[in-house]
Amino acid sequence: MKTFSVASSAPALVLPTRHVWKKRLMLSALAVLPVAISQMAAADCTSTDATQSIHAVGDLFIPQDAPVGSTIGLVKYTRFPIINCTTTTPFSIQSTMLTAKAPTVTAAIGSAQGSQLYATNVPGIGVGVVNETRPSYLCLTSGSWYFPLAFNGCNTGGFSANTNNSLILIKTGPIPAGINDFGNLQVYTVDINNNGTPFNWIDGRLTGTVTVAGCSMPAAVGNIIDVPMKNWEKRVFNGPGSVTPTEGFNIALNNCVAGTYAGNPTWNYFRGNNANIRLDGAKGSTIVDASQGVLGLNSEATATGVAVQVLKQDGTPLPLGVDVPIMPVQDGNTTLQFGARYIQTAGDSTGPQPGIANATANFTITYK
């Protein structure tokens, strides 16, 4: 957290910088999982495809402060294994998720998916699977096409068909910093039974990585920003809203990872990865005018009739008390540039009264 202070007799605008990194990773990856099957144990159902279906999501990124419920990515699986069955005997198909149930979240992709998530080996990332083909020869028992689901008493004749499933990754909580690898995580199985002996039709596995994208802040001292405001005479101010010249200050962001989001859908909770700043009053400083970036003096101040106005790099006011996007995150190190100046708040009849004019603010940098 950072702090910001201003002084008239003690020329310092101190931003005690309280830096809170909220590293949130929201990610979701969708993969269409082909249902692959090997030679069926039952002689009346056969397939020449491999049983294991690998859902390779590749290398995905999520901004560290992306909201819970964000989708990490969508991946299409284009291989469609075929099963051939000549039997007219009713059969059952059972799909089973192999990991623990994940918390229900308000998912960007929809509430139905947000309640059908299961844990992965990466904390904060949930996985959901839904059948996309929905063939007519299947008799759905559960009423939902989200895994786990069951089909019982189906088949009025022989059939030859294929099927595929979609896999989506969604942020369910804080995700560990850095690169998170799924390894070769077994997510689900699909078994078929038409002769009393279940046979593994599909073994669904997840591979790929998710990287939490953001920056680090300088250690301790670098998180306290003092902005010298100089000493000013009362005659510099000529009425409400009159200001002193702007004093610049910087915030350093180090070791940034931007990430890539080419396939990020428009309905998702984040669009790319931006560095955002939020300033809140501290040590007695209160917000005088949030939209105009005007911050009151702190409890140590003796001056009256003035406040501090915080500005963005382009000279426009920096809104206070809200997250304000500053710039897209870029790989490597970068610097955020701001300015501060005194502004008269007293009426014409009294004007500012001399004294110590320090202000203090805590700032939080987020990435989303």
Q: What is the pLDDT of residues 167-217, one digit of tens each?
A: 899 999 999 999 999 999 999 988 877 666 677 777 888 999 999 999 998
Residue 359 phi, psi (nearest 5): -130, 155
Question: Of 186, 213, 240, at which residue does a domain stop?
Answer: 213
Q: Which of 250, 243, 242 is nearest to 223 (CA)?
A: 250
Structural domain that includes position 256: 2-22+215-367
The highest-confidence range among 149-153, 267-271, 297-301, by mean pLDDT, is: 297-301
- Out of 168, 186, 213, a domain closes at 213
- Domain boundary among the residues 163, 188, 213 is at 213
Backbone phi, psi, residue 203, to 5°: -120, 100
Instruction: Name which of 39, 5, 19, 12 is nearest 277 in CA terms.
Output: 19
Please indicate, yes or no, whether residues 351 and 266 belong to a single structural domain of this protein. Answer: yes
Instruction: Give the mean model confidence (pLDDT) for residues 251-274.
Output: 91
Q: What is the mean pLDDT of residues 135-143?
A: 62
Structure confidence at residue 112 (pLDDT): 80
Q: Give the domain CATH number at 63.
A: 2.60.40.3310
Residue 203 and residue 243 share a domain: no
pLDDT in tens, 315-327: 999 999 999 999 9
Do 248 and 161 belong together in one domain? no
The tens digit of pLDDT for each residue in 88-100 reads 677 777 889 999 9
- By three-state DSSP, how is residue 354 classified? coil
- Band (pLDDT 50/70/90 cuts) for residue 298 is very high
> Do 175 and 227 fall into the same domain?
no
For residue 40, the model assigns a pLDDT of 39
Domain count along the chain: 2
Are 83 and 53 contained in the same domain? yes
With a CB cutoff of 8 Å and minimum separation 6, the contacts of 87 are 42, 44, 45, 155, 158, 194
Both 335 and 274 in one domain: the answer is yes
On whether the CB atoms of residues 345 and 305 are closer than 8 A, the answer is: yes
User: Is the pTM of the predicted complex or chain greater than 0.85?
Assistant: no
